[in-house]
Structure 1
Amino acid sequence: MSVRRLESMLPFLSRDLAIDLGTAATRIHVRGKGLMLNEPSLVAVDSETGQFVAFGAEAGRQRAGVVTVRPVRNGAIVEPDAARVMLRHFVHKVHGHPYARPRMTIAVPGGITAIERRVMVEAAYEAQARQIIFMEQPLAAALGAGLALGDPMAAIVVDVGSGTTDVAAVSMGRAVAVRSMRTGGEAMDAAIRLEVRRAHGIVIDDRTAETLKEQIGSACEPSAGRRMEVSGTHPRHGAPMSAMVSAECVHEALDPAVRAIVEAVREVLESCSPEIAADVARRGLLLTGGGALLSGLPRRLRRDLGIPVALVNRPQHTVALGLGMWAARN
């Protein structure tokens, strides 16, 4: 029996999938079932054979003779082979049927290139996609944040992801002005690592930098006296070291990225028509994405831009939820 015949008899074999293939995590929304997968975008590779041995959360577990790679950076696939196998694994995990050929709606950042888009198409077809539909992340975020496609009143959506930040003025279901930056949570972590090395002469890893950001980081003025002890290594001979890092040090590292987000919103506002700018002044800005959880970011945007700012519920899931809502209607 042909796959097409099987799909016509068993519609669940072609159930729609909405995929947020992010730098830090991949989330898959299954039509009729909701958000079914939320795992790190990680692949474990055997260092001797080069074979892919684990994916997602399982790939993040430390094992001898295995290295982990991130196939997605800044919202684009940078390790095509690893990305194809990872996506196929994730799709099979949520679908569970070897003959499934789902329609896939995939979020893409606003600044994606034609080559990056083609690599993503190849990865989706490798994962047995029957049809591929791309949707810009800001529009998916707007839907997931509760904006109706036909809503005539404009709003600005700021999606701060791990690899990219997308800013869009959205009206009547379309982005009328967009600014995309390859700056997000990972760039913030990298800036913290550099600042800690400069200020304390210690090398820390990504996880420690992320913990500093989450525990004592702030987009506004830091709390005086807040500190956190971290472990790392000496930059030259690799000996174990520890240091007491202040909230001021972390704020110093984060501030350039925060200012870049503020300026991107300002640029989008300045490019809007007076009518849309007036809508935004009343309705304000919707803040989504995992990076939106940085302490003080809504307050900083409100202070510097002079417009209302709302942090949506479950900001990490907003894009996947918006993709799922759109796919269900089309």
Structure 2
Amino acid sequence: MFAKDIGIDLGTASILVYVKGKGVVLREPSVVAMDKDKGTLLKVGTEAQQMLGRTPGNIVAIRPLREGVISDFDMTERMLKEFIRKAASFRLFKPRVVICVPSGITEVEERAVVDAGIQAGARRVFLIEEPLAAAIGAGIDITKPDGHMIVDIGGGTTDIAVISLGGIVESTSIKIAGDQFDEAIIKYIRRKHNVLIGERTAEEIKMQIGCVFPRPEEQTFEVKGRCLMTGLPRVFTVTSSEMIEAFEEVSTRILEAIHGVLERTPPELVADISTNGIVMTGGGSLVWGFDKLIESHTGIETHVADDAISCVAYGTGKSLEWVGDMQDGTMNISRRKQMNN
């Protein structure tokens, strides 16, 4: 049987796999668990994530992607191989794979992603920049001479781009995103309450009561952690207004990056953006009130795309239709399309 083309959103926090003709078939955390003594892979994805912070000495659960790029090549390759195997099942021919990467990626990092894909069992690997994939997935027609602004807040990177005529006109990629929100919660609770909490607890707090703009009603969350004074377990309550304080630095950095991109954008496109609004995608955009915060600072209507977490995966999947036109696997789809136009 012929292999179907596959699109992969290679995220710092989670990996989504899109199979042509089927849609998103796999959505798992970017975590692997391995036995250090034997060097064997034990679990991948959801099962490995449950082991984070709970493993004995010989087992290590790690996230092989940090800040949008590969930090552990071997583990990334093994993880990709497992996900491609799950998604493609048995096929006679290897699939062609389109992988999504941050817009600020270097050539060395680009090559690492392509190599990891080939080693994991892909016949050819093509790359597409995250903001482009997010725009396609959000239903924007990127081929028109009309400016659109995308803010994609993932796990490791925030990609901000102005798109027109099928290409990126102005963009920036900062290593401030969902992971930094989690770190901000851990630091804030340590500083304010003298309690140490883990990454998973921080993630839960972020999802339940996290916000960057005042909520209509105050919300609370019961936190369990280790008291730094006594070393004993402690249970206490945090509020949503405390989260605004905890997230202030991270959200300000993202706002500054958006402002910087708007400053460098040609005036005609800025006029288009003020009409079309700003579209937010990625898991980080789901932090309550982010669209309201951006709107209050820029004066431009901002909205979060439908199914924001899957936008990049859907966009990567839709870009599979262009794969036949491409010759060079190391070249970004966006650049190839610009050269073809």
Q: Distance in 2 between matches of 1:324 and 1:110?
A: 18
CA contact (8 A) 1:188 1:254 kept: yes
Deviation at 1:131, TM superposition (A): 1.1
Q: TM-score scaled to structure 2, two decimals?
A: 0.89
Deviation at 1:99, TM superposition (A): 4.0
The farther-off stretch of 241-250 and 21-30 is 241-250
Q: Does 1:255 align with 2:244?
A: no
Counterpart of 1:242 in structure 2 is 235
Unpaired runs of 5+ in structure 1? Answer: 1-9
Q: Distance in 2 between matches of 1:163 and 1:287?
A: 16
How do residues 151-300 of structure 1 correspond to structure 2 at under 5 angstroms? 151-222=144-215, 226-235=219-228, 238-300=231-293
Counterpart of 1:35 in structure 2 is 24
Deviation at 1:223, TM superposition (A): 5.8
| Deviations 1:123-172, CA, capped at 9 Å, x for gaps | 10111211111111000101011111322211100000011000000011
SS state of the match for residue 84, structure 1?
A: helix
CA contact (8 A) 2:186 2:197 kept: yes
Unpaired runs of 5+ in structure 2? Answer: 324-341
How do residues 43-62 of structure 1 correspond to structure 2 at under 5 angstroms? 43-62=32-51
CA contact (8 A) 2:210 2:244 kept: yes
Q: Does 1:74 align with 2:67?
A: yes
1:94 counterpart (87, 93, 105)? 87
Q: Distance in 1 between matches of 2:36 and 2:322?
A: 45
Counterpart of 2:13 in structure 1 is 24
**CA pair 245-99 structure 1, distance change in 2 beyond 3 A:** same
CA contact (8 A) 1:17 1:103 kept: yes
CA contact (8 A) 1:138 1:166 kept: yes
| Deviations 1:149-207, CA, capped at 9 Å, x for gaps | 32221110000001100000001111100011001111100011000000000001111
CA contact (8 A) 2:96 2:122 kept: yes
The farther-off stretch of 97-106 and 32-41 is 97-106
Which amino acid in 2 is paired with 1:24? A
Deviation at 1:307, TM superposition (A): 0.5
Deviation at 1:263, TM superposition (A): 1.4
Tell me the number of residue pairs that the alignment of Structure 1 and Structure 2 aligns: 319
Q: Distance in 2 between matches of 1:27 and 1:85?
A: 16
Counterpart of 1:3 in structure 2 is none
Q: TM-score scaled to structure 1, two decimals?
A: 0.92
Q: Does 1:321 align with 2:310?
A: no
CA contact (8 A) 1:109 1:137 kept: yes
| Deviations 1:100-121, CA, capped at 9 Å, x for gaps | 3111111110121222222212
CA contact (8 A) 1:100 1:128 kept: no
| Deviations 1:54-96, CA, capped at 9 Å, x for gaps | 1111222347643311011111111111111110010011111
| Deviations 1:310-330, CA, capped at 9 Å, x for gaps | 211100000010011111243
| Deviations 1:196-254, CA, capped at 9 Å, x for gaps | 00000000111111121122221112567533220111336642122222223221111
State the superposition RMSD in angstroms. Answer: 1.6
| Deviations 1:255-290, CA, capped at 9 Å, x for gaps | 111111211111111111111010001001000001
Q: Distance in 2 between matches of 1:117 and 1:286?
A: 26
SS state of the match for residue 150, structure 1?
A: coil
Deviation at 1:98, TM superposition (A): 5.8
Which amino acid in 2 is paired with 1:243? F
**Identical-pair percentage:** 37
Q: Distance in 2 between matches of 1:46 and 1:247?
A: 39
CA contact (8 A) 1:202 1:242 kept: no
The farther-off stretch of 294-303 and 231-240 is 231-240
